[in-house]
Structure formats: C-alpha cells, structure tokens
Amino acid sequence: MDIKIIEFQKHDDERGSLVVAEHQKEIPFLIKRVYYLYGSDPKTRRGYHSHKKLEQIYIAINGKCKVMLTDGKENKIVELDKKEQGLYIGHNVWREIFDFSDDAVLLVLASEKYEESDYIRDYNIYLSKKEE
Ligand code: TYD
C-alpha cells in the first residue's frame, strides 16, 4: 500500500516549537491545495473514498484522529497525534477517518486542485477497479 509516515523538521527552543515541511524534502509533490477538517464529533467517520491520481499528506496539527487505509487486501489503522508527523497517502488507497478528538484539526496537503472526477466514493467500484 502506498502510504508512509513522514517526519517533519522540528525546531524547539524556549519560545516554543516550529515545524517545517519543504517541497522535495518532506513533501514529494508540489502542493496545489490545502484544506483542513475540524469540529468532527468523535462518532463521525468520514472520507470513504480513494483517488485516481491525487496524492495527499494528512497532518494532525491539533488533537488526534485515526485513519483506516486499505488497498482491498491489506488494512492499516494509523493514529495521527503528532504535530511533527505527516501521513502520506498515494493514489488508489481507500481511506476512512475516525476517532476525532474534540480538538482535532486535520490539515491536508494535496497534489492537485479539487476535482470530483478524481474520486472513487463507492467501495465496491474501488475494489472492482483494483481487479482490472
Ligand atoms: P467530502 O469530499 O465529502 O469530504 P470527505 O473527505 O469526508 O469525503 O467534502 C465535503 C464537501 O467539501 C463536499 O461538498 C466537497 C467539498 N470540497 C471542496 O469543495 N473542495 C475540496 O478541496 C474538498 C476536499 C471538498
């Protein structure tokens, strides 16, 4: 499955912390879009899609949440709870996001602009495309 945890550069001093993620160092794609999720109830489960082309990095810049990732064969649950860590998700990976803490803010860095035609939102269609 095309996922990996990326460690960002963290600079701590008496003034606090500063985290950096730079193109071609920690970020393997050119960022064309940024969005963030917050205010999700702990019972909320969202995502439920894969992307045909899009690559993303999820960063829990506050609080925590979990991401379930599958390619139809292997299943992984990744807990995001570190401000200096990102979860890279390549294309063709199904994801569901859940277990949001009340204070969770999930920042998403994306390699493409928003395009609904890049989404597969039906798990059975996702599985059938994987078989092709
Ligand atoms: P949606 O895709 O349903 O979120 P999830 O990641 O849980 O599947 O997105 C919620 C709404 O926001 C939906 O109406 C589409 C819209 N949206 C944009 O307009 N631009 C974007 O970049 C994103 C990610 C979503």
Mean pLDDT of the chain: 97
Place of tokens 């609904």: 116
Burial of residue 80 (number of CB atoms within 10 Å: 0-12, 13-18, 19+): buried
Range of the domain at 31: 3-131
Query: In whole angstroms, what is the distance from residue 117 CA to residue 79 CA?
Result: 29
Strands across the sheet containing 56-62: 3-7, 85-89, 56-62, 105-110, 33-38
Average pLDDT for residues 118-129, to the nearest whole number? 96
Residue closest to 72 by CA, chosen among 95, 47, 44: 95
CATH (domain of 44): 2.60.120.10
49 C-beta closer than 6 A to ligand 1? yes
Number of separate domains in the chain: 1
Contacts of 5 (CB under 8 A, 6+ apart): 78, 85, 86, 87, 88
Whether 131 shows a pLDDT value over 90: the answer reads: no
Instruction: Tell me how many degrees the CA angle 78-2-32 measures, rounded to the nearest 5.
Output: 95
How many angstroms separate the alpha carbon of residue 96 from the centre of ligand 1? 13
Split at pLDDT 50, 70, 90, the class of 130 is: confident
Split at pLDDT 50, 70, 90, the class of 7 is: very high
35 C-beta closer than 6 A to ligand 1? yes
CA 61 to chain CA centroid, Å, is: 12
Split at pLDDT 50, 70, 90, the class of 56 is: very high
Q: Which residue's CA is the closest to the ligand 1 atom numbered 19?
A: 114
Split at pLDDT 50, 70, 90, the class of 12 is: very high
pTM for this structure?
0.96
